[in-house]
Structure 1
């Protein structure tokens, strides 16, 4: 076969084809083009195959660089000479050209680009069968160390894109795995190359790139944090276009993409976080039932972003959070309440107050909408909710109390809550001093002051640590006497001598108020049980009068001067005023 080729192509032409001068190689290629054209006209395809084999084996695979260059320009010349009949010889022509893309000599790689460019111009869509291999080569050449090779590769790339967009033989299904494999490459040239292809293919009406978006979405998001502004801009433009297509498409695989977006929402790169949370926002609005199984993951991405340093991210995250909370999903349709509660529980430990607050709003929302299902998970979340009562933020504590108040509609949960508070105050006197009044007052508003005070008293009655019991009762007594929220409770106690309900309440509180003499005296005075108050005072011996006693006595004296005991002062005054006042003439 080689002998046939040697008899077809003059020796001088073959010598010029391997000459170091480009002009000689070019002229030799033109002569080969003419010879092949004549052979094609005569139908001598076996001889054409022999010529191709000669050019491949003796030139493109030669150890001499000039031979390899000549072989490449020769193969392109053969293709041009064949014109419309070139397709039947592509199996011989294309592989050696593709092999030359890996040549150590940059000039050979350059001529390989030029050769494939000329071949592609002739055969157009017929070379699509080699697309994956050509794409792989172009991907590598886009990052070539030689600028001239890069430039030649870009020209070839543009031509290949034109051919692909006009071809009906291109297989997107075969291309996507190739694209997916390369999406996490860090080289900036490769990234530009890949984004360029994604953008071009997405512009072709007959190619459904949106349907395959989950396969390369993560790679695009990865490019948003590239050090190159141009790459970030190109990736952002591609993502913006896809998001617009999603808004206009009735069939979108939200689930797979939601998983990607959730991961990217936790990126250390601010722009990536903003883009991903913006996508999540749109998904929540558009996805509907498709997103039900992913609600917990989405919430897990949103809650931390509510406290993001970047205001734009915070705004979008808050809006998304409200949208998500506004959707009323059915647990029977895959809405995993346990998973949502797990996320909310996790975010109770967030260092950011805003995130902890929103986590508590989720507890409240789920408790109101799905009480039965919520309470089924109570063993997992009750203690973390109790621990949240020690949160440094008053706003958080107030919300925690609201959640507890809803849970405490069941008596045993209510008892558990008050018992926990007493234990917590026992272990943390500073918390009792700084936050005790806030907690007790809010509980009284949420659950009813009488109910709360009766429960506190019932538990404290049997408290073993008498010193703590005294401190706790004194705190409760001070709240009782000074808080506006407990006005009705004070009124009921004032009527204790004439109202059976008031008497019962007085006796209920008295059982534990006895731990503190001053609290007992205050309670008796409030209930107008003056005789008993006198008995208590008279029962106090000298051993009861210590520094703590005197401090409490001072507080009681000052309380007696407040509006709460105005009626007592009036009663005392009436005892000392004569029934008739003497008249004096002027």
Structure 2
């Protein structure tokens, strides 16, 4: 009948016949009628042969409706019928390929084995048509494939992976362009418990990776790295290893393109550096553990190499808000506030923010590193510390803007694993050359010091446990003079006087005892330049928060006459009950007495033998010694018993001869001493003494208020 209609070119009758079979039979309520309808449609297609193209919609769509039938026999007959139609029409079905693929993907997961077997023939036929056709619309097909790739059914997953593999093997189809659309789903399929499906998906991903290595210019690395980051956290070893392996190649091929994603990459790979430790609860126990660890190390190294000095240059992307009204600014002295505000503004421009941006997203990167500092694995913590060192070496101007919580985390990490955990990577990772310091813009430096003091003030335990370590390390890497001057200026404006006194005590102890501040001590000891005298005055004003620290600073700088004035003031304040002598005060005095007997004050003890200021020096040493009487339980007060012997004028021949020898020794530094005296003469010690009284008066007034708070 159909052939007769074709011979007469009777298109109308053919369409009537298609409508009869497609609507009245294929969509009938009777199952047998539906079976007959789809068989009839297949017969029409066979009769039409190569001329079936114009009738594809009328032939295929009724059959597609039957593929979703509740009767498995109807679905089976429909799949057989569709196979026959597609076999005849071939490329003519491509305009409705998405509809056919949608139904076919459901047949692949059909609960009936016969239906699944029947659909396999149709599946192979469609793959042949797609591979040999040049008109296949891949762009229209990808949204459907992206949707189907997330199926949970094992058979449907096998179906999807097979299609992805086939299309990737076709030379005329560039699947790399569309890989970001389906990569996430493929990694989820890789987690499937089926060994066969897992192997099939792994092979497909390997083929994609080989193509990426051949044609990196056609790959959107940034679009896919997010998926890799997600799946590198997978508990499935194969998925995690595959994701990290892809990361390794991506970082190597893409260059700096992935720098904005450095934080996510590090969050994924840093914990895996501990996979060689079987004691770690997260360490895999199977074959992939070593592979994951070594691959992660390679990713970490390559990513670190991408961060270079050019990332320290300012960029036009994204402003940085002004900190003029931040909580940290509340403790600024007026002079320092004005100085920082002026340095933050460009010449001649009234600006409240400086636009600072870079391709490297530093804030999320540091947040990740800070979190990983608390990881249980030593390997992970050391890798993080190496990252901080690398950032500080390559981009110091940006690093100083970081949240000072990082210092707290580094300190906690170092405390957990010993200070050696911090020093090992610094010494072995290529750091700042010995004796050099990193130059940091003053605007950043001031903000850094503000944040550091805010951190210490909010966490006194951190100051107690790790404050000295943090400050000493900063003095190694930055300018110790700048650090002390900046901290001193900020402390001068702090409203929390108790914290200021405690902080001054800490800074003073570091100044007098640490080897890192040897040069700064020598600079203060001589006071032979205007700069050193200016530094002394700056430190003195904030050191006034702690009387014992003030005395030690004056002894260090050889201002013995002023020391005597301070001790005389102490005595007057004590007798007038304006100064409270506490156990803490006596303990500090006792520590000072111990320091005077240490090598740091050797020059001071030698000056007892012959010095123009010998009388003031002896009085200065008697003061602290008398403040700690032996009956109060401070054994180092015995120091005062030795002072008379040293201070008695040399009367016998030995001391007379020794005095002459010392005079000859001092001749070559006479000019330098004269220069120091000229510089000191410009210091207004009376004004400093009045400032000390004013600060101590403020402490006295603050004590009742502090008691009321408690």
Do these two structures clear the TM 0.5 threshold for a shared fold by scoring above it?
A: yes
Structure 1 SS opposite 2:218: coil
- Note if contact 1:390-1:431 (Cα within 8 Å) is conserved in structure 2: yes
Who is 1:212 aligned against?
A: 178
Matched length = 528
C-alpha spacing 1:479/1:62, structure 2 compared with 1 (3 Å): closer
Corresponding position: 1:552 with 2:588: yes
Q: Secondary structure at the match of 2:174?
A: coil
Judge conservation of contact 2:86–2:93 (CA < 8 Å) in 1: yes
The match for 1:283 among 247, 250, 254 is 250
Would you say 1:252 and 2:218 are equivalent positions?
yes
Give CA-to-partner distance per residue, 1:244-269, whole Å, 9 cap, x none: 21221264241672475377358655
Give the Cα–Cα distance (whole angstroms) in 2 for the partners of residues 425 and 332 of structure 1.
32
What does residue range 326-345 of structure 1 map to in structure 2 within 5 Å?
A: 326=308, 328=310, 337=358, 340-344=361-365
Aligned to 1:108: 74
- Listed one character per residue, the Cα deviations across residues 42-90 of structure 1 (whole Å, up to 9, x for unaligned) are 7797788787677656754554434443444454455556655665765
For 1:447 and 1:519, the matched residues in 2 are separated by 24
Distance 1:199-1:571 versus aligned 2 partners, 3 A rule? same
Per the TM alignment, residue 134 of structure 1 is displaced from its structure 2 partner at its CA by 2.2
Distance 1:50 1:562, change over 3 A: same
* Alignment gaps of 5+ in structure 1: 6-35, 582-586
Distance 1:462 1:57 in 2: 90
Residue 393 of structure 1: SS of its match in structure 2?
Answer: helix
Please point out which of 452, 460, 478 is paired with 1:447.
Answer: 478
Matching of residue 299 in structure 1 with residue 262 in structure 2? yes
Question: Does the Cα contact within 8 Å between 2:475 and 2:483 map onto a contact in 1?
Answer: yes
Residue 598 (structure 2) pairs with residue 580 (structure 1):
no
Which of 196, 199, 202 in structure 1 is aligned with 2:165? 199
Match of 1:12 in 2: none
* Deviation (angstroms), 1:204: 1.4
CA 206–475 in structure 1, closer or farther in 2 if over 3 Å, else same: closer
Residue 324 (structure 1) aligned with residue 306 (structure 2): yes
Identify the range of structure 1 (132-141 vs 418-427) with the bigger mean alpha-carbon deviation.
418-427
> Are the structure 2 counterparts of residues 530 and 213 from structure 1 closer, same or farther at C-alpha, using a change threshold of 3 Å?
closer
Deviation per CA, 1:337-381: give whole Å up to 9, x if none. Answer: 28724434654763645597588568647745xx6xx6xxx9xx9
1:261 touches 1:279 (CA, 8 Å); kept in 2?
A: no
Greater shift in the superposed pair: 317-326 or 192-201:
317-326
Partner of 1:477: 508
Q: Secondary structure at the match of 2:468?
A: helix
Cα gap change, 1:130 to 1:414, in 2 (>3 Å)? closer
**Which of 138, 142, 158 is the aligned partner of 2:124?**
158
Q: Which residue of 1 aligns with 2:111?
A: 145
Q: Does the alignment pair 1:183 with 2:219?
A: no
Q: 1:105 Cα deviation (Å)?
A: 1.4
Partners of 1:67 and 1:252 in 2: CA distance = 52
Q: 2:602 aligns with which of 553, 566, 569?
A: 566
Gap change, CA 1:40 and 1:203, over 3 Å in 2: farther
Distance 2:255 2:111 in 1: 49
With over 3 angstroms needed to count, the CA separation of the structure-2 counterparts of 1:407 and 1:337, relative to structure 1, is farther
Mean CA deviation greater in 280-289 or 327-336: 327-336
Take 1:362 and 1:580, find their aligned partners in 2: how far apart are those partners?
60
> How far off its partner does 1:243 sit?
2.2
**After alignment, is 136-145 or 531-540 more displaced?**
531-540
Instruction: Summarize deviations over 1:388-447 as a string: whole Å, max 9, x none.
Output: 444353679999xx99x968532x544444455445544543333222222332333233
Change (3 A) 1:569 1:367: same
Contact 1:407 1:413 in 2 (8 A): no
1:132–1:178 contact (8 Å) kept in structure 2: yes
Q: 1:455/1:111 Cα in 2 relative to 1: closer, same or farther (>3 Å)?
A: closer
Determine helix, strand or coil for the equivalent of 1:69.
helix
Distance 1:285 1:115 in 2: 51
Compute the RMSD of aligned alpha carbons: 4.5
Larger mean CA deviation between 267-276 and 212-221 belongs to 267-276
Quick check: 1:225–1:269 contact (8 Å CA) kept in 2? no
Q: Which runs of 5+ in 2 are unaligned?
A: 276-291, 319-356, 375-380, 416-421, 424-430, 611-645, 656-710
* CA 1:197–1:333: 2 relative to 1, 3 Å: farther
| Residue matched to 1:391 | 409
Task: Give TM-score, length-normalised by structure 2.
Answer: 0.62
Moved more, 355-364 or 476-485: 355-364
CA displacement at 1:99 relative to structure 2: 3.0
Provide closer, same or farther for how the CA distance between residues 331 and 239 of structure 1 changes in structure 2, counting only shifts above 3 A.
farther
| Structure 1 residue 483: Cα displacement | 0.6
Structure-2 change in CA distance of 1:193 and 1:488 (3 Å): same
Distance of 1:54 and 1:451 partners within structure 2: 94
Higher RCO, 1 or 2 (CA under 8 Å, sep at least 6)? Answer: 2
Contact 1:303 1:359 in 2 (8 A): no
C-alpha distance 165-571 of structure 1, shift in aligned 2 (>3 A): same
Q: CA deviation at 1:142?
A: 1.0
Give the equivalent residue in structure 2 for 1:14. none
CA distance in 2, matches of 1:502, 1:117: 94
Distance 2:584 2:499 in 1: 13
Instruction: Report the secondary structure of 1:104's partner residue.
Output: coil
2:373 and 2:409 in contact (8 A); partners too = no
**Following TM superposition, by how much is the alpha carbon of 1:559 offset from its aligned partner in structure 2, in angstroms?**
2.0
CA distance in 2, matches of 1:327, 1:152: 63
Over 3 Å counting, the alpha-carbon distance change for 1:225 and 1:537 in structure 2 is: same
Query: Structure 2 vs 1, CA of residues 78 and 215 (structure 1 numbering), >3 Å: closer, same or farther?
Result: same
Post-superposition offset of 1:325? 1.7
Aligned to 1:13: none
SS at match of 2:82: helix
Distance 1:150 1:548 in 2: 86
Helix, strand or coil for the counterpart of 1:445?
Answer: helix
> What TM-score do the two structures reach when normalised by structure 1?
0.73
Q: Contact 2:411 / 2:466 at 8 angstroms: preserved in 1?
A: no
